[in-house]
Structure formats: structure tokens, C-alpha cells
Chain A
């Protein structure tokens, strides 16, 4: 069965410092992995996705994530945080072979201070 664990429920950083949001997954097959962001009172926006092409995936707004099969991880990073990055971030797994629905992590709230 698929599952995804976001290791931190809340991460606080200062503007201009690096961001690291951690995600571990469990999947029987080769999964597709996604990171979504949700700003207050808004829908979810896709940041990036991994679909077995390149292990280092670049997304929008300077975010990137690295797929590490040996560690079953898909951590999200950004070199320099901006105030507008404050939001909730969801790591998501989709089991393409099983054709099942998306499984969302519990979310990580990112706070950015000036």
C-alpha cells in the first residue's frame, strides 16, 4: 500500500535562508511523486512532479526536489526563502501501475520571518 510521510508539521525559516521540507514515501511500484503548495483560502498549486525521468526535479518559484529511491525520500528544497513562500506544502504519491488515487501527506506549514 502506498503512503507518504511528511516528517515536519511546521518549519520556520528566515527570509533569504534555505528551505528544506522532508518527505518519505512508501509504494509497491515505481511511483509518481508531487509537491503541491496551498496558500490560505486558495486551492492547491503544483510545484513540481517526478515521473521517473530525472531524479532531480526543478519546479516553479525556485523549488526543486530530489528523488532518492534508496532512501525512499523526495525532499523539497529552495536555496533562498522569500516571504511569499509562506504556505502549506503537501507531498503526494501516485501509484501509476495500480491506477490509484493521489495519496497526500499531512502537510508542512512553512513560516518565513523577515
Chain B
């Protein structure tokens, strides 16, 4: 069974631009969550989608948005990029939504975003 895949793996953008990251979950998984990992803040939850609906959202500005398609693939968009958005963005998929007992998340390798 293929794991979680994220594209692209590396991305360089400049301030003010926007970016879209993609995540393909494990086949059959309907929950996709996004996380931002930085050296200073560690791993922080961005949002979760389940069956095309956003279920949870972390404490991030509205510049960060996402969506999920009917095939469970998810995209994350960041508009008006700032230098502080440079981070590793991780996607995780699971069979059941976050907060469900025995929920187990499988992580992708991440997309390394650098904002210049």
C-alpha cells in the first residue's frame, strides 16, 4: 500500500507570492491533517479535513487555507507569503477523524518551503 505522498518536496518562493501544496493520503483514508514544523515553534496543527469538510483549525491567520477533494486528496494554500512561513509542511492521513479513539495518523515526508 502506498504511503502518504506530498508534492512538491521542495519549494522556493518570494515574499508576497502564494503557494499551493498537495497531499495524497493513503488509499481509503478520508481524514487529512496539515502541520507546520519550524525550529522555533515546533510542530503546529494547521487544519483537518474529513470527507471534504474542515473539522478543526489551528491558530493560524486566514492566509492559510485548505480544501479536500472527493478522492480525499488535499491541498493547502498560503497567500501573501511572509519570511516566517518558511517551514516544513507535513500532511497526515488517517481512516477516522482526529479525536476518534484509536485514531492513527500516517505522515508524509513533507514539503520544505523556503520564502526569500
Residues of A at the B interface (CB closer than 8 Å) are 32, 36, 41-46, 49, 51, 90, 94-107
Asked whether any CB of chain A lies closer than 8 Å to the CB of B4, the reply is yes
Interface size counted on chain B using CB atoms at 8 A = 27
Q: How far is the CA of A91 from the CA of B112 in the complex (A)?
A: 22
How many residue pairs, one in A and one in B, have C-beta atoms under 8 Å apart?
60
Q: Could you tell me if A101 and B98 are in contact, using CB atoms closer than 8 angstroms?
A: yes
Residues of B at the A interface (CB closer than 8 Å) are 4, 33, 35, 42-45, 48, 55-56, 58, 90, 92, 97-110
How close is B112's CB to chain A, nearest CB, in angstroms? 9
Residues in B neighbouring A104, C-beta threshold 8 A:
35, 42-44
From A96, A102, A106, B101 is in contact (CB under 8 Å) with: A96
Q: Could you tell me if A96 and B48 are in contact, using CB atoms closer than 8 angstroms?
A: no
Residues in B neighbouring A46, C-beta threshold 8 A:
104-106
